[in-house]
């Protein structure tokens, strides 16, 4: 029973991270119908920036709390800037091109960013500092549910709530929904579509950065390659829940997290990634619209 | 062009990139030894680099927009290949002859090392042409093409290991295995559209690699299979050097065969059906083209070449392991097709030569190989989506009718 609970909670943690990254895919897809292949790399860059900033700050003797806040903040800002720039360089000139073109461009961007970090930094795994403090009240349950896992789940829930509120109730959220439904019509009613697309990329990239910091701090190491697998898995989560739908991305993230957690726990841990890919292939074949297939809702 | 506002814009771009690349390019930390290295030189490089590039970027964007406007105005732009073909059709034959002679003489003039490189290039030519059928002609973006390559290579290695089958027996078997896996992948993805298809094929490729890596009893896992025999010729024992030359000629044979077949396929009924499918699926079905058969044949015929090259690859390196069949390999083959020009046979050949030879001869450059591939994919899509040599659309010219 305890093993089951452990897997359940482990799956919940994984699922939260997938959900955080999947939101970026789903929002971008909702607006410009593009699989942003470089999204995984944005997540990786977020984690790397957090690592660099926290290492520098540690050296200058900042206290733990300041490091956590500053590193996260700077990482989010940088990831958002990268997302914004990637869109301007690789996708914006291709707005009216055939569908295949931006996709290939996105794959190129992903390969480029990966190798940019590889060349500018290192190909080794780097130890990532435990930015998230240990909570005392969880001491006795450490082996089942660690404090970093608690923080991951809580952060995810909070971020999701804020995002949902943002899209439902603010002016910019309304504009986003309108752009997702019909770009031309949105332009006609005076929405600056280019700006909305940029905002979408910025929000998606920030979420990816948050996911990156949380998971890196939980696992304790990163390298330039983490974005690739995480990106594909998050995409799987997005498709699973029905790409273009925000609750769908969250649901998909959890389903994928649990699938992986239980499959590796009870079947075989060698094939962890195979389960995710197989799930992706199966879902696309049998229910390509996803579990919650709500079209046109950012 | 060099007015004040342009300079101001470039300056802003430059500042933005300095900001953007600051943590990654300038700072390098070593968390174990707690050392922080500040590389201010890189900052200067990024600043100057992005300043210059932003001018070039804007210049090309303007050129592209100008070109689009020209097309809108109804001006006809003859593609480069067509221009060449019209003007110099009599030279084509002699050019072809020169190429054949050069190819035949190559291993006798240059060293074994050069011959090996050329063999690799030719293998990628065949791979590129195979993927070109799927991506270029049929318009199905396949990101897991390397899986079929792996299937071919492992077919040879395993059949040889267990049953002692020789190269010539396995070569057609590898092709059949490739085609079989192509159909296996093709069936479930029939209904999927462009981007979903890309992801599923990517997942398929990764599944094949992960299975090869983890299923030790079947594929010997990450340690791979060694001592795979080189191609044989009945009755003759080759020395290593002779074997290389022999392999080179085999690959040339395969490449020429591929070029011939792909050229014929393009003009065949099925080739036209692929192109029609790429252009408009619904219209294509309305014209009575069987979508299922057309798509499956594209996957199968594309994978066939990968299967054959896989067998060749295993025989050439005499050792294979799953690390040779990563996504990067698929990306490389895709870059060849995209750079050369999707759907264009001479384009793909040139693309393979550029992308394989460039990193090979510019050793200092080799590190930046993948960075370059990524950049090529983006830049080609932004500025020249049709590739170096764009595919000539067949048009019917009605001569003699004048209004």
Per-position DSSP letters for B227-264, written without gaps between them: -PPPP-BTTBPPPHHHHHHHHHHHHHHHHHHHHHHHHH
Whether A56 contacts B36, CB under 8 Å: yes
> Nearest by CB to B204, which of A89, A98, A281?
A281
- Mean pLDDT for B66-80 is 66
What is the per-residue pLDDT for A292?
A: 66
- Mean pLDDT for A104-109 is 88
What is the per-residue pLDDT for B89?
A: 59
What is the per-residue pLDDT for A81?
A: 93
Cα atoms in the Cβ-side hemisphere of radius 13 Å centred on A39: 34
**Which residue's structure tokens are 């030894």?**
B33
Q: What is the largest CA-CA distance in chain A?
A: 59
Query: Any idea where the domains of chain B sit in the sequence?
Result: 4-72, 110-383
Tell me which of B76-80, B89-93, B258-262 is least confident: B76-80
Per-position DSSP letters for B370-400, written without gaps between them: HHHHHHHHHHHHHH-TT-SSPPPPP----TT
Distance CA B49, CA B61 (A): 18
Nearest to A257 by CA among A3, A43, A21, A1: A21
Tell me which of A104-113, A282-291, B54-63 is least confident: A282-291
Let me know if B251 is exposed, middle or buried by CB neighbors in 10 A (0-12, 13-18, 19+): buried
Sequence-distant (6+) residues with CB within 8 A of B24 are A45, A48, A49, A52, A116, A117, A120, A121
Distance CA B357, CA B160 (A): 31
Which stretches within B287-344 are classed as H helix? 291-317, 327-340
Alpha-carbon distance B238 to nearest alpha carbon in chain A (angstroms): 41
Whether A185 contacts A236, CB under 8 Å: no
Contacts of A228 in chain B (CB under 8 A): 327
Write the pLDDT tens digit of every residue in B303-314.
999 999 999 999
Which pLDDT band, with edges at 50, 70 and 90, does B392 fall under? Answer: low
> What would the two tokens of residue B279 be?
């252009």
What is the per-residue pLDDT for A295?
A: 47
Q: Is A222 helix (H, G, I), strand (E, B) or coil?
A: strand
Distance CA B2, CA A13 (A): 54
Alpha-carbon distance B45 to nearest alpha carbon in chain A (angstroms): 13
- Cβ neighbours, 10 Å, residue B111: 11
Cα dihedral B345, B349, B350, B354 sign: positive
Which pLDDT band, with edges at 50, 70 and 90, does B358 fall under? Answer: confident
CB pairs under 8 A between A and B: 171
Distance CA B109, CA B240 (A): 17
Nearest to A37 by CA among A26, A25, A21: A25
- Mean pLDDT for A275-280 is 81
In sequence order, what E strands does chain A have?
126-127, 221-222
Which pLDDT band, with edges at 50, 70 and 90, does B220 fall under? Answer: confident
- Looking at the predicted structure, is the pLDDT value of residue A76 above 90? yes
Whether A138 contacts A150, CB under 8 Å: yes
What is the per-residue pLDDT for B397?
A: 60
Contacts of A34 in chain B (CB under 8 A): 195
- B63 lies within 8 A of chain A by CB: no
- Looking at the predicted structure, is the pLDDT value of residue B209 above 80? yes
Whether B207 contacts A277, CB under 8 Å: yes
Write the pLDDT tens digit of every residue in A157-186.
898 889 889 988 999 999 988 988 888 888
pLDDT, greater one: A194 or B218: A194
Contacts of A94 in chain B (CB under 8 A): 381-382
- Looking at the predicted structure, is the pLDDT value of residue A63 above 80? yes
Which pLDDT band, with edges at 50, 70 and 90, does A298 fall under? Answer: very low
For chain B, give the mean pLDDT.
Answer: 82
- Cβ neighbours, 10 Å, residue B191: 13
Q: Which phi-psi region, left, alpha or beta, contains residue B17 (left: φ > 0; alpha: ψ -120 to 50)?
A: alpha
- Mean pLDDT for A146-151 is 82
* Percent of chain B clearing pLDDT 90 (strictly above): 9
What is the per-residue pLDDT for B87?
A: 52
Whether B185 contacts B204, CB under 8 Å: yes
- Looking at the predicted structure, is the pLDDT value of residue A83 above 90? yes
Say which CATH architecture domain B110-383 belongs to. Answer: Orthogonal Bundle (1.10)
What is the per-residue pLDDT for A149?
A: 83
CA dihedral B388, B389, B395, B399 (to 10 degrees): 120
3-state DSSP helix/strand/coil percent for chain B, to nearest 5?
75, 5, 20
- Mean pLDDT for A117-132 is 82
* Percent of chain B clearing pLDDT 70 (strictly above): 89
- B71 lies within 8 A of chain A by CB: no
- Looking at the predicted structure, is the pLDDT value of residue A244 above 80? no
* Rg, C-alpha atoms of chain B: 24
Q: Highest mean pLDDT: which of A79-83, A118-122, B317-321, B368-372?
A: A79-83
Which pLDDT band, with edges at 50, 70 and 90, does A101 fall under? Answer: confident
Contacts of B155-159 spanning 24+ positions with Cβ under 8 A: B155/B307, B155/B310, B155/B311, B156/B228, B156/B310, B156/B311, B156/B314, B156/B315, B157/B225, B157/B228, B157/B314, B157/B320, B158/B218, B158/B219, B158/B225
> Nearest by CB to B374, which of A108, A271, A277?
A108
Write the pLDDT tens digit of every residue in B111-150.
888 888 888 899 999 999 999 889 888 888 888 899 999 9
Distance CA A243, CA A235 (A): 9
What is the per-residue pLDDT for B191?
A: 76
Which pLDDT band, with edges at 50, 70 and 90, does A113 fall under? Answer: very high
Distance CA A7, CA B176 (A): 43
Q: Per DSSP, what are the bridge partners of residue B28?
A: B37
CB contact under 8 A, B327 and A228: yes
Cα atoms in the Cβ-side hemisphere of radius 13 Å centred on B334: 34
- Test mutation, B206, B374, B379, B387, chain A, max A CBs within 10 A: B374
How large is the ipTM?
A: 0.84
* Percent of chain A clearing pLDDT 70 (strictly above): 94
Whether B144 contacts B368, CB under 8 Å: no
Q: Which of residues 187-246 of B touch A (CB under 8 A)?
A: 188-189, 191-192, 194-196, 198-200, 202-204, 206-207, 210-211, 214
What is the per-residue pLDDT for A296?
A: 41
Q: Which helix (H) or strand (E) holds B363?
A: none
Distance CA A176, CA A196 (A): 6
**Length of chain A in terms of residues written:** 298
- Looking at the predicted structure, is the pLDDT value of residue B1 above 60? no
For chain A, give the mean pLDDT.
Answer: 84
What is the per-residue pLDDT for B81?
A: 55
CB contact under 8 A, B200 and A284: yes
- Mean pLDDT for B160-184 is 87
- Mean pLDDT for A208-230 is 86
- Mean pLDDT for B173-195 is 84
Which stretches within B22-133 are classed as H helix? 40-72, 80-87, 89-109, 112-131
What is the per-residue pLDDT for B47?
A: 86
Nearest to A275 by CA among B212, B184, B206: B206
B/e letters for A186-213, b = 16+ CB within 10 Å, e = fewer, are: beeeebebeebbbbbbbbbbbbbbbbbb
Distance CA B112, CA B316 (A): 13
Alpha-carbon distance A85 to nearest alpha carbon in chain B (angstroms): 9
Whether A270 contacts A280, CB under 8 Å: no
What is the per-residue pLDDT for B148?
A: 92
**Looking at chain B, which residue has its C-alpha nearest residue A88?**
B382
């Amino acid at each position: 029973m305890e093993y089951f609970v452990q897997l359940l909670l482990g799956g919940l943690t994984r699922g939260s991270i997938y959900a955080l990254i999947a939101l970026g895919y789903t929002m971008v897809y909702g607006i410009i119908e593009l699989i942003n292949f470089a999204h995984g790399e944005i997540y990786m860059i977020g984690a790397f920036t957090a690592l660099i900033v926290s290492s520098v700050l540690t050296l200058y003797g900042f206290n733990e709390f300041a490091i956590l806040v500053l590193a996260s903040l700077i990482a989010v800002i940088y990831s958002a800037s990268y997302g914004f720039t990637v869109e301007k360089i690789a996708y914006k000139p291709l707005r009216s091109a055939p569908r295949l073109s931006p996709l290939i461009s996105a794959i190129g961007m992903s390969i480029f960013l990966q190798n940019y970090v590889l060349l500018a930094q290192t190909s080794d795994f780097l130890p990532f500092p435990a930015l998230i403090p240990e909570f005392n009240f969880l001491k006795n349950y450490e082996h089942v549910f660690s404090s970093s896992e608690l923080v991951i789940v809580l952060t995810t829930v909070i971020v999701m709530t804020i995002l949902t509120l943002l899209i439902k109730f603010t002016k910019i959220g309304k504009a986003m929904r309108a752009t997702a439904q019909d770009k031309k019509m949105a332009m006609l009613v005076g929405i600056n579509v280019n700006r909305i697309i940029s905002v979408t990329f910025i929000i998606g990239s920030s979420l990816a950065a948050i996911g990156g910091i949380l998971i890196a701090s939980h696992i304790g190491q990163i390298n330039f390659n983490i974005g690739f697998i995480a990106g594909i898995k998050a995409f799987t989560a997005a498709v699973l829940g029905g790409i273009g739908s925000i609750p769908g991305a969250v649901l998909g993230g959890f389903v994928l997290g649990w699938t992986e957690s239980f499959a590796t726990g009870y079947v075989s841990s060698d094939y962890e990634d195979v389960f995710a890919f197989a799930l992706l292939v199966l879902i696309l074949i049998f229910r390509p619209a996803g579990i919650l297939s709500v079209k046109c809702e950012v | 062009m060099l007015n004040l506002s342009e300079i101001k814009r470039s300056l802003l771009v430059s500042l933005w990139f300095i900001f953007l690349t600051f943590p990654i390019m300038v700072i390098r930390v070593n968390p174990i030894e707690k050392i922080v290295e500040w590389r201010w030189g890189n900052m200067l490089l990024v600043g100057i680099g992005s300043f210059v590039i932003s001018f070039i970027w804007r210049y090309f964007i303007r050129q592209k927009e100008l070109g689009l406007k020209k097309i809108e105005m109804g001006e006809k732009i003859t593609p480069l290949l067509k221009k060449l073909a019209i003007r110099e059709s009599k030279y084509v034959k002699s050019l072809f002859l020169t190429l054949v002679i050069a190819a035949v003489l190559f291993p006798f003039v240059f060293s074994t090392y050069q011959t090996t490189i050329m063999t690799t290039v030719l293998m990628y030519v065949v791979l590129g042409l195979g993927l070109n059928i799927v991506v270029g002609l049929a318009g199905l973006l396949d990101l897991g093409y390397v899986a079929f390559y792996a299937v071919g290579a492992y077919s040879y290695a395993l059949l040889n290991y267990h049953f002692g089958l020789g190269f010539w027996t396995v070569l057609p078997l590898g092709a059949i295995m490739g085609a079989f896996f192509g159909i296996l992948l093709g069936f479930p993805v029939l209904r999927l559209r462009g981007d979903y298809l890309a992801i599923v094929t990517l997942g398929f490729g990764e599944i094949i690699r992960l299975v090869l890596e983890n299923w030790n009893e079947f594929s010997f896992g990450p340690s791979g299979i060694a001592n795979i025999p080189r191609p044989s010729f009945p009755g003759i024992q080759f020395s290593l050097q002779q074997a290389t030359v022999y392999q080179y000629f085999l690959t040339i044979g395969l490449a020429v065969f591929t070029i011939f077949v792909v050229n014929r396929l393009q003009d065949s009924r099925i080739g036209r059906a692929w192109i029609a499918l790429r252009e408009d699926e619904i219209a294509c079905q309305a014209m009575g083209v069987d979508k299922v058969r057309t798509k499956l044949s594209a996957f199968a015929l594309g994978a066939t070449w990968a299967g054959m090259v896989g067998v060749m690859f295993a025989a050439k390196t005499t050792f294979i392991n799953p690390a040779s069949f990563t996504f990067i390999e698929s990306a490389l083959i895709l870059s060849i097709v995209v750079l050369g020009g999707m759907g264009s046979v001479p384009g793909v050949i040139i693309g393979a030569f550029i992308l394989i030879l460039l990193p090979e001869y510019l050793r200092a450059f080799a590190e930046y190989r993948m960075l370059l591939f990524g950049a090529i994919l983006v830049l080609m899509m932004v500025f020249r989506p049709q590739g170096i040599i764009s595919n000539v659309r067949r048009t019917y010219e009605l001569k003699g009718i004048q209004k």
